[in-house]
Chains A and B, each alone.
Chain A
Amino acid sequence: MLQGYGYVALFLLVSLAFAGVMITLPVLLRKFKVIPYKPSAVKSSTVECGLETTGRSWVQFNPHYYFFALIAVALDVMLVFLLPWALVLAGLGVFALVAAAIFVAILSLGYIYAWRKGVLQWK
C-alpha cells in the first residue's frame, strides 16, 4: 500500500527537480556567458499567436447571446448522446430506439418552447 504511494512521491520529486532545472538552467548559462544576451523588442514581447489585442477585454455582450448559447449547448449535448447511441443501435433493439425518441422529444419541446417564447429573435 505504502509502496504504491512511494512511486507517486518519486514522480513528484522528479517533476519538481525537472521544473527547477529547466527554470534555472538558462539563467545560469547566461551568467557564465555560454549563451549570448541580445534583447530586442520582438524577442521580449509576450509569446502569443495572432495579432496583439486592441482595446480593453471587458467588452459587454448582448445578454441575448446567452439564450442562443444555452440552446446550442442543449443541442450539442443531445448530439453527444446520440452519436454513441447511433453507433450501437443495431444491437440494442426497439427499447433503445424508443428511449432515444423520448429523449429527443423532450429536448425538442424545449426548443419549440424557446422558439414560441421569442427567444430566437435577435432584438
Chain B
Amino acid sequence: MNLDLLRPEICMALTALAAVGADLLFKRKAIVTAVCLAGIAAATGLTFSIMGNAPQIIANRLFSLDDYAIFFKFLFLGLAFIVIVASVDYVNRMKDFHGEFHALLITATLGAMLTASATDIISILLSVELTAISFYALVGFLKNGKTAESSIKYVLLGAINSAVLLYGFSMLFGFTGSTVLSGMERATAAIPSGGAAGGAGLLFGLMLVIAGFGFKIAAVPFHMWAPDVYEGAPTPVTLYLSTASKIAGFAVLTRILVTPFMQPVALARNWGIILAGIAALTMTTGNLLAIPQVNIKRLLSYSSIAQSGYMLVAVAALGMSSSNFLQARSSLLYFILAFAFAELAVFTAIVVMSRNKPADLISDYAGLARRSPLLGVAMTLGLLSLMGLPPLAGFMGKFYVFTQAAQHGLLWLVIIAVVNSVVSAYYYLRIIKTIWTDEPASEEPVSSSLGPRFALAFACLGIAVLGVAPAIITRFSEFGSHMFMP
C-alpha cells in the first residue's frame, strides 16, 4: 500500500474539502478561489515530486504511476487552474453557489486525475463516476429552465451509459477472469490466434466499453447529449466539460485497449476497424451539423464532436498498429494538447462575452475584434487552430495523427478526415468573418478582469508554441506515451 504516491490526488481531495470549509467560514468569496488555486498549485508541485518514482504500481494494482498518468495529471491540473482563473468574473452570477462550484470543479479534476492512472476496472469505474457525478451537479448550476433541462438530460443518459459500461466491464471480467488490466493482458496473450470463442466474447465486451466511453467523448452515435448540455451548462462548465471530461475519456479508453487487447491480432484489428468507422461517422456528422447552427456554444459542441472524430483516428491507428504503437499514442497526446489549448482560447472568450450577452448568438460577436482586440485575436487563433491552419497547433496535431493513421493502413480514413477539415473551414471562417468584418452593434469595449485575460494570453501562447516549435512539446507527448502495467 504505497498510498503516498497518490499525493497529488490526496492534496486535491483536501482542497475540495477546504473549499467547502472556506465557503462556510468566510464572507469574502475570493478566498475560496484563492484556496482552490493554491491547492491546484500544491498538487502540481506534488506531481513533480513523484515524477522520479515512476514507473510504479500503487495500491495493489488499482492505480499505476507511469509517464502516461503523469502527463494527464499535469494536463488536468493545468486545465482546472485555467478554468478557475478564466471564470472569476462569471461565477459572480452564481453567488449562492460559489463554494460548491469550486469544490465540485476540484472533485471533477480529482476524478479525471485518478481516471488517467487507474489500471483496474473497479478503480476506473469509480474515478469515471466521480468525474461524472461532479459534472451532473455543475451542469445545472444556473437553475434556469435551460440548465435544468440539460442537467436532467445529462444525468439520465449518463446513468444509462454507466450501466452499459458496467455490462461491458462484466463481460471483459467474465472472459479474462481478472479485473486488473495486466491480468486481462495475460489472459488475452494465452488465446490462440485462431481461437474464435474468447475473441468474439471479448469483442462484444469491448464494443460495450467503447459505447460507454463513446458517450464521454461524444462520439457519434452516442453524441446526442452534447449539444444540449454544452448549450445549457454555464460556460465555464462547458469549457471544462469539453476538455477535461473528454480527454479523461480518451485517456482511459486508450489505456484499456492498448495493450491489454492488442494480443490476438484479429481482435485488435476488429476494434481498430470499428473505431475507424465510428471516427469517420463522428467527424462527418459533427462537421455537417455544425454548419446550420446560430448559437455559438451549440456550434462549438458540434465542432468538438468532430474533433473527437480526429482523436478517434489516432486510437483506431493504435488498433491497426500491431507492435509499434508508441508513435501513434504520442500523436494522440499531441493532438489532445493542441485541442485543449484551442478550446481554452475559444471558450474563455465566450465566457467573457456571455456575461453581457447570455444568449450566445454568433451575431453577438459581430465586430468583436474592434471592441476587444484580445478577445478577437484569441478566438481567431483558437478557431484557426481547431480548423488546422498551418503555423498553428491544430495543424501539427492533425498532421501527426494523420501520418500515423496512414502508416498503419488507414489511408481511406485519412482522406475522409482531410475532406472533413475542408468542410469545417466553412463554419470556422464564418465566425472569424463575423468577428473581423461585420459592424458591431455598439462600439463600447468588452470589460474583462485580469484572470480571463491571463487565460486568453496563455492559450494563445500555447497555440503558437505548439505550432511553431513542436519539438518542445513532442518531447512531452513522447514522454507521456509510456505506460506501465505489470
Q: Is the CB of A112 within 8 A of B17?
A: no
Contact mask for chain A residues 112-123; partner B; CB cutoff 8 A; 1 contact, 0 none: 110011000000
Q: Is the CB of A116 within 8 A of B17?
A: no
Chain A residues closer than 8 Å to B24, beta-carbon distance: 112-113, 116-117
A109 to B22, CA, bound (A): 11
Q: Tally chain B residues at the interface, Cβ within 8 Å.
A: 4
Taking the nearest CB of chain A, how far is it from the CB of B431, in angstroms? 41
Check: B142 CB closer than 8 A to any chain A CB.
Answer: no
A117 to B21, CA, bound (A): 12
Chain B residues closer than 8 Å to A117, beta-carbon distance: 24
Contacts of B1-58 to chain A: CB distance below 8 A: 17, 20-21, 24
Taking the nearest CB of chain A, how far is it from the CB of B23, in angstroms? 8
Contacts of A77-113 to chain B: CB distance below 8 A: 106, 109, 112-113
Q: How would you classify the secondary structure of chain B's contact residues: helix, strand, loop or mixed? A: helix
A116 to B20, CA, bound (A): 11
A109 to B17, CA, bound (A): 8
Taking the nearest CB of chain A, how far is it from the CB of B186, in angstroms? 24
Residue of B nearest to A117 (CB): B24
Taking the nearest CB of chain A, how far is it from the CB of B107, in angstroms? 12
Q: How would you classify the secondary structure of chain A's contact residues: helix, strand, loop or mixed? A: helix
Chain B residues closer than 8 Å to A106, beta-carbon distance: 17
Taking the nearest CB of chain B, how far is it from the CB of A60, in angstroms? 20
A116 to B24, CA, bound (A): 7
Chain B residues closer than 8 Å to A113, beta-carbon distance: 20, 24
What are the 4 closest A-B residue pairs judged by CB atoms, nearest first?
A116-B24, A113-B20, A109-B17, A113-B24
Residue of B nearest to A112 (CB): B24
A112 to B20, CA, bound (A): 10
What are 5 pairs between A and B in contact, CB < 8 Å? A106-B17, A109-B17, A112-B24, A116-B24, A117-B24
Taking the nearest CB of chain A, how far is it from the CB of B236, in angstroms? 22
Chain A residues closer than 8 Å to B21, beta-carbon distance: 109
Residue of A nearest to B23 (CB): A113
Chain B residues closer than 8 Å to A116, beta-carbon distance: 24
Residue of A nearest to B96 (CB): A117
Chain B residues closer than 8 Å to A112, beta-carbon distance: 24
Known interface pairs A109-B21, A112-B24, A113-B24; 6 further A-B residue pairs with C-beta atoms within 8 A, sorted by A's residue number: A106-B17, A109-B17, A109-B20, A113-B20, A116-B24, A117-B24
A2 to B24, CA, bound (A): 62
A109 to B21, CA, bound (A): 8
A117 to B98, CA, bound (A): 13
A86 to B24, CA, bound (A): 31
Contacts of B281-327 to chain A: CB distance below 8 A: none
Identify which of A106, A113, A116, A117 gathers the most chain B CB atoms within 10 Å of its CB: A113
Contact mask for chain B residues 239-259; partner A; CB cutoff 8 A; 1 contact, 0 none: 000000000000000000000
Chain A residues closer than 8 Å to B17, beta-carbon distance: 106, 109
Taking the nearest CB of chain B, how far is it from the CB of A67, in angstroms? 15
Chain A residues closer than 8 Å to B20, beta-carbon distance: 109, 113
A113 to B21, CA, bound (A): 8
Taking the nearest CB of chain A, how far is it from the CB of B295, in angstroms? 32
Taking the nearest CB of chain B, how far is it from the CB of A110, in angstroms? 8
A116 to B22, CA, bound (A): 12
Residue of A nearest to B25 (CB): A116
Residue of A nearest to B24 (CB): A116
Taking the nearest CB of chain A, how far is it from the CB of B348, in angstroms? 30
Taking the nearest CB of chain A, how far is it from the CB of B220, in angstroms? 37
Taking the nearest CB of chain B, how far is it from the CB of A73, in angstroms? 16
Contact mask for chain A residues 7-23; partner B; CB cutoff 8 A; 1 contact, 0 none: 00000000000000000
A106 to B24, CA, bound (A): 15
Chain B residues closer than 8 Å to A109, beta-carbon distance: 17, 20-21
A113 to B99, CA, bound (A): 11
Taking the nearest CB of chain B, how far is it from the CB of A92, in angstroms? 13
Contacts of A31-55 to chain B: CB distance below 8 A: none
Taking the nearest CB of chain A, how far is it from the CB of B279, in angstroms? 40
A112 to B23, CA, bound (A): 12
Taking the nearest CB of chain B, how far is it from the CB of A96, in angstroms? 12
Taking the nearest CB of chain A, how far is it from the CB of B423, in angstroms? 48
Taking the nearest CB of chain B, how far is it from the CB of A83, in angstroms? 23
Taking the nearest CB of chain B, how far is it from the CB of A5, in angstroms? 16
Residue of A nearest to B20 (CB): A113
Taking the nearest CB of chain B, how far is it from the CB of A113, in angstroms? 6
